[in-house]
Structure 1
Amino acid sequence: MERDDVAIVDGDSVRVRTDWWGDVLRTVAEGERRVIVEDETGNRFVLVAEDRYRALEDAERSRTPGRPDVTLTAREQEVLQLVADGCPGSVVAERLGLAANTVAQHLAAVRRKYGVRSSAAAASLARQDGLIT
């Protein structure tokens, strides 16, 4: 490929036009490079060698099944623990000296981090992760 036909995106990535498939595949096959192909509408596709792809899959499998690592703040853990113990949001707010809306925001953040719709489901997952008792 000519130097003016390739734009460096990252230190180890090249960006090429989609009509250069032979050169694209050779670039991927030659080593530790990844190729980012972008179509006319801005969608990006990353091509990597199969051994690199398998390494990425292995790394993903070694993580906790079903969810990524979740980190809760101390306050989120405190609020979630009280909810898991059966306290309604208004009681949690009173005990912790928070506004009810603040408690609701903490619970919403926990649900979002776990990717669940209910605080009970988030509490169950947090228990499994050892973040609450």
Structure 2
Amino acid sequence: MIRAFVHMRLGGIESGWKHLARVHADDRHALCPYREIAALRLRLNDLPGAEAAISECESIGDRHVPRSRMATQWLRAAVELRRGRSAESDLHADVALLTMARNDTTGPMYFPPIDDIRALVARARARGTALPLLDRIAALDDHSRLVQNFVALTPRERDVLSLLSAGASGDRIADELVLSRNTIKTHLRRVYSKLGATSAQEAVRIARWMGLDV
């Protein structure tokens, strides 16, 4: 999965797809390839392709991990909004936002492109859906503030974030940087705080959403 998106970020769409094709969803797959495909198709403005990928992910249904189900709802909301089906979009967005609020996570929100996120967040605010969650992620409406926070990362914190994006565990990061596990935990806490993330996956997702190299 990581190899696929490294290739795609560097412009190697075809080679990226080859890597992605090797990833297969299973009943508990936390990194469902279909939701990633749907996200990429949305960025390419390929709505039929995005819908096809989302349908594949939806077919796994409740057997999927909660994070994948939330991401699928959020992606479906973005597609429906682009199709002009606002009622359907609002329904999917509300399900996703309320579930994310119960699970105290914002990660799934970062799958659609930023313009879709802003539109969905604006509509949710107008409906009064999951306002505490939306208040906590107000940075979505302020791309520059997130960039400033990223710039504020120390060189060592950027090293940690870069290794996270490559799929390294905390122990591996400690070995790579020749630091203690406790020092790595401290760096991780600071990275999460500056980016407004609650997990490694979310920190990487936020950085990628900003279009930053990590």
TM-score, length-scaled by structure 2: 0.30
Question: Which protein shows a greater Rg?
Answer: 1
Looking at secondary structure, tell me which structure has more helix per residue. Answer: 2
TM-score, length-scaled by structure 1: 0.47
